[in-house]
Structure 1
Amino acid sequence: MSDTCAAATPLSRDRLAPAIAAAGAAITPAHYGAPAESGERSAPTAKADLLVVGRIATGDPAAPRAEAMAVRDGRIVALGSTADLDGLTGPATTVLSPDGVVIPGLIEPHAHIWVSLLTLEWTDVSHAVCPRFDDVVTVLKAAAHATPAGQYVLAKLFDPSLYPGEPALTRDILDRVATDRPVIVLNASMHFAYANSAALDAAGITDATPQPSGGTLDKRDGRLTGVVGESPAVTMLLANLPRPTAAEVGRGIRHVLNEFAGAGVTSMREAMTGTLAGVSEIAMLHQLNGAERLPVRVSTAQFSSLAGCATPAEVAQAWKAAGVTPFSGDAMVRADAWKIVADGSNQGRSGYFLQPYLGETSGGHANWTPESLREVMRAGLDDGWQLMIHTNGDAAVEFALQAAEELLPGRDALRHRFEHASVTTDDQLARMAAVGVSPSFLMDHVYYWGAAFRDTILGPARAARLGRLASALRAGLRPSLHSDYNVTTVQPLRSARTAVLRRLEADGTVLAPEERVSAAEALAAITADAAWQIHADDRGALTAGRRADFAVVDADPWTSDPESWDRIAVNATYIDGVPAFTA
């Protein structure tokens, strides 16, 4: 569990870019599965090639239940009773009678593949795994015991903001974990790392080492504390770690996507593509999919800043020259959006707010000037991209909204999005609806960080305006929920549960009960409405004409108590009626 929208740090680029760049720049879609256009479908008299029989929760309010679903060429042709579908089957029809409930494949509309690969196999010391600070040390000791002598003990997702007093993992603490091997822990933001004495020695960092430009080696009374800050210093610390090969990166991508499929996800949006290796990231996804179909459909959001490009217009031209244009690719890997990051992390106090953070004089900052924000938005709009704009603080929402109100009239059909829209006002939600921008909420902000926002970061009044799904719906918006993986783990049903309950992990209290939504509204935000946001109208519900993307689970979320949603087990997922994941 991290604390900010995953960003491509120089550290990530240094470790991963060479392996990804090995994929080259040739984009070769594999064109697996059902055709994209209805006109390409088989003749209406053809028999179904798959019949799914059992308990089916369609996600369609007009016909929420069915006992049979006929699929031909990867698309649903009919639902109803088994008797209703008798005429659609023949000797060649495969009958699937799954053990569980069939539900629409869940949609993850904002997650990160590439920057999650750096620490994929590192030990998790997030607050979810280590609810007390002492638990962090305990988990690290267990990891050290399991690590062969001389090898690094590596851990990730340490988040001091969720512990009383925001403690650091100092060198003295980590020396209690191990002295005979290097121990390194990355902060959840990846802007800080924590090292024991052996790790400092292995990196050649001593009390006399000069401060790197743009980075910090923290000292107390001239002695290194083991806390290093920002990419130049963190990169020094990790300089001796081996870099992955292209094959290892490929296996990592499949590992990540299998995690998604294991949570019932059949489609996801990679929310910052190109930050490590430009077009090679898309080339690699297509190559992997060509070798063996990916377990999840991937929609990509092209980053609006690329190495070697001086202006947004140059970035747009670079994507276009590589053949990456809106909706290019195929049904498994498709380029869909233009990503802009307007501010930073609220937990890291770099989100942009109208008033200062508690106990501070600063309310964070924007990443753009008003003029440059409009320039980067125009670059995407002029090429026909859907805009995805990261906006965490209420000032960032206002900043981006004013630009949208100027630029979007007449260009609102692309379902432009504000990512996180973490803290908003009623006026802002109404104006978003008027200008054609929909929000995607990181509902785990409420669950994991709600108490910290309320008590130490923002205060009760602003914390009550966090993740306002109910208010967004009242304003006529069509919002979605996302994980921002690996900011939090991919568990759409947990996010939906939080949207219904708004109960905080820290103390069990309810944050802003007026923002609670119905079960149906929460489930729509991880199915049909999330699919709509990523321009996947052929998914998100099980109805005739849509793709046969579905999951098999052990309980029906549409009829079960939301309290239990996070415990619903996923037995399998299917894409175009073909197995993609089996538990």
Structure 2
Amino acid sequence: MSAGCCSAHPVTQDHLGAALSSAGTTVTAASHAAGLTVGQTAEILVVGTIATGNPAAPLAEAMAISGGAIIGIGALKDVEGLVDSSTTTVKPEGVVVPGLIEPHMHIWTSLLNLTWTDVSHEVCATFDDVVATLKTTAAQTTAGEYVLGKLFDPSLFPGEPDLTLDILDRISPNSPVIVMNASMHYLYANSAAFAAAGITYDTPDPVGGTFGRADGKLTGVIGEAPAMMMMLAKFPKPSAQQLAAGITEILNECAKQGVTSLREGATGTLAGVSELAMLHQLNGAKRLPVRVSTAQFAIMAGKTPEQVAQTWKDAGVTPFSGDEMVRSDAWKVVADGSNQGRSGYFMQPYLGENNGGHGNWTPETLRGAIRAGLNDGWQINVHTNGDAAVEMALEAMEEILPGRANSDLRHSFIHYSITTDDQLARTAKLGISATFLMNHVLYWGAAFRDTILGADRADRLDRVASAIAAGINTSVHSDYNVSKVHPLLSAQTAVLRRLQADGSVLNPAECATPAQALAAITTNAAWQIHADDRGSLEVGKRADYAVVDSNPWTSDPASWDKIVVNETYIDGTLAYSA
């Protein structure tokens, strides 16, 4: 789990930018489905237990597919007239469910440490587990090579302990060890890593960065991007081929969780148009295992948002351009930082501090960034974590949206983490939807309550039930690599709101119903990313589905996270098999 998200971290940009840029800026859609023709006779007939995700007809026993689309669904007798001797009948071992939708995650910013050892709280329940896991990794690493860890989050352990130089030296006295904090604001390193980077106790701190020192020696803690980049300056950078393999690995992991469509939440954050060009190139070489919708980032180095918008246009990237597998359809603006990283923007200070974070824009510049996207017809996605960030974004949208002709763009607030009743009502009035990072509740809920925000604000975290009651179209997401892509786990947390730390329930009044939570990873999420032809299994929609071992619509939500995905299909053809 990472606390950093939705924006370009300088370390990631420095490490990956060149390899990504090698893809160039020519965006060419593959259009694999161009030859598909929907006919009146099924090419494929799926027979078995089918959970449609359509409340009006929740169960079916047969589904007829032609040209990648559903042309009939219901009882077997209802579709018999759509089959002939050329139809292939398949009988999946399990329950057929709609392909799940992941409406907000990150591909590009997840590539930096994709292969590093996971020492998140999700994997390591205690600080001792973190140390033990790194020791195991060190024992399995060739002598002299880097021992690498990621997603270490001290805020989730008692006392917020650091991985010090002394601890890491004991883990591996000779090989360099580097561990990245989940917030991406810190690295932790041992003596061998400092030596490999040529950094000593006497090395001056760069402007904006720090090398921790105490009692005449380095502590092992490296703070902020300028110092982190010095630490990683001699670390090997990946090739374009390695990045391509990483992208494929990420998408396969999504398909493994039953995901057939996702939105990449900040395309262009590292290397501009080249990121989209690489994605299309990969899809051209072989159809991707998941459909990817991209939200174009409003920031590129040295450019105003208006100039960024022109850069996308010059590359032919306009709203809904692309093809059925890779499509560009949103404009991304980040209003603040991370609550668990204490950079979310709040009306009141964090517990024990005199600072409530800060906005990434002034009210005036935020309006300019939003207008730059709206003027070109983009759907607007605004990252909002703290209640002050929500307020700033709301005020901007209240000024800008009324009277605009393009009213069906389905603008959304991303995370929408801490809100007031007034903000919910105003968001609904504007027709803005919301997507919630439910793992904030599961993994960080106790930390928010006890050490970061306090009980009152923690009760206003991820208010799914209140948002739905207010009339806000609502989905849930992983924000990968902030947490793993696992839509059924996110939906489960929306229902249970149970904290991993102590098993308590955070504000039961905000628990969603099972039906609401499942809509949040299917039909609602599909609507948010303009994928109206997905999210449920109905005539006229794409034959995107997964085969699972238990029907979530009829099973106990407490078991959803244990549901196993056996296969995933796009347009009725296999995209993933266990």
Query: TM-score, normalising length from structure 2?
Result: 0.98
Amino acid at match of 1:324: V
1:114 and 2:102 correspond: no
Task: Judge conservation of contact 2:7–2:334 (CA < 8 Å) in 1.
Answer: no
- Residue in structure 2 matched with residue 417 of structure 1 by the alignment: 412
Deviation, 1:98, is 0.5
- Residue in structure 1 matched with residue 538 of structure 2 by the alignment: 543
- Residue in structure 1 matched with residue 446 of structure 2 by the alignment: 451
Q: How does 1:9-158 map to 2 (within 5 A)?
A: 9-33=9-33, 42-43=38-39, 46-158=40-152
Q: How does 1:233-252 map to 2 (within 5 A)?
A: 233-252=227-246
Task: Note the alpha carbon deviations across 1:249-305, whole angstroms, 9 max, x for none.
Answer: 111000000000000000000000001111011111111001000000000000000
Match 2:548 to one of 542, 545, 553: 553
Distance of 2:554 and 2:178 partners within structure 1: 46
Local SS of the residue matching 1:176:
helix
Aligned residues with identical type, % of pairs: 65
Amino acid at match of 2:561: D
Distance of 1:289 and 1:442 partners within structure 2: 28
Amino acid at match of 1:42: V
Task: Judge conservation of contact 2:38–2:69 (CA < 8 Å) in 1.
Answer: no
Task: Note the alpha carbon deviations across 1:525-548, whole angstroms, 9 max, x for none.
Answer: 000000000000000000000000
- Residue in structure 2 matched with residue 5 of structure 1 by the alignment: 5
Deviation, 1:222, is 3.4
Distance of 2:217 and 2:147 partners within structure 1: 23
Task: Judge conservation of contact 1:6–1:487 (CA < 8 Å) in 2.
Answer: no
Amino acid at match of 2:108: W
Distance of 1:34 and 1:127 partners within structure 2: 45
Amino acid at match of 1:272: A
Local SS of the residue matching 1:168:
coil
Q: Which runs of 5+ in 1 are unaligned?
A: none
Local SS of the residue matching 2:321:
coil
Distance of 1:130 and 1:53 partners within structure 2: 42
Task: Judge conservation of contact 1:286–1:333 (CA < 8 Å) in 2.
Answer: yes
Match 1:324 to one of 314, 317, 327: 317
1:200 and 2:194 correspond: yes
Q: How does 1:231-380 map to 2 (within 5 A)?
A: 231-309=225-303, 311-380=304-373
Local SS of the residue matching 1:83:
helix
- Residue in structure 2 matched with residue 188 of structure 1 by the alignment: 182
Distance of 1:91 and 1:10 partners within structure 2: 59
Match 1:572 to one of 557, 567, 570: 567
Distance of 1:541 and 1:260 partners within structure 2: 18
Task: Judge conservation of contact 2:334–2:384 (CA < 8 Å) in 1.
Answer: yes
Distance of 1:217 and 1:6 partners within structure 2: 26
Task: Note the alpha carbon deviations across 1:169-202, whole angstroms, 9 max, x for none.
Answer: 1101111101010000000111100000110111
Task: Note the alpha carbon deviations across 1:105-130, whole angstroms, 9 max, x for none.
Answer: 00000000001011111000000111
Deviation, 1:4, is 3.1
Q: How does 1:374-389 map to 2 (within 5 A)?
A: 374-389=367-382
Deviation, 1:6, is 4.3
Distance of 1:203 and 1:477 partners within structure 2: 50
Distance of 1:564 and 1:197 partners within structure 2: 45
Local SS of the residue matching 2:389:
helix
Cα RMSD between the aligned structures? 1.0
Local SS of the residue matching 1:548:
coil
Task: Judge conservation of contact 1:20–1:284 (CA < 8 Å) in 2.
Answer: yes
Task: Judge conservation of contact 1:370–1:399 (CA < 8 Å) in 2.
Answer: yes
Deviation, 1:26, is 0.9
Task: Note the alpha carbon deviations across 1:453-488, whole angstroms, 9 max, x for none.
Answer: 000111111100000000000001111000000000
Amino acid at match of 2:415: H
Query: TM-score, normalising length from structure 1?
Result: 0.98
Distance of 2:63 and 2:402 partners within structure 1: 41
- Residue in structure 2 matched with residue 211 of structure 1 by the alignment: 205
Amino acid at match of 1:343: D
Question: Number of aligned pairs?
Answer: 576
**Which range moves more in the overlay, 2-11 or 230-239?**
2-11
Task: Judge conservation of contact 1:413–1:436 (CA < 8 Å) in 2.
Answer: no
Q: Which runs of 4+ in 1 moved over 4 A?
A: none
Task: Judge conservation of contact 1:261–1:581 (CA < 8 Å) in 2.
Answer: yes
Deviation, 1:7, is 3.0
Local SS of the residue matching 1:186:
strand
- Residue in structure 2 matched with residue 167 of structure 1 by the alignment: 161
Match 2:502 to one of 501, 507, 529: 507
- Residue in structure 2 matched with residue 478 of structure 1 by the alignment: 473
Task: Judge conservation of contact 1:21–1:281 (CA < 8 Å) in 2.
Answer: yes
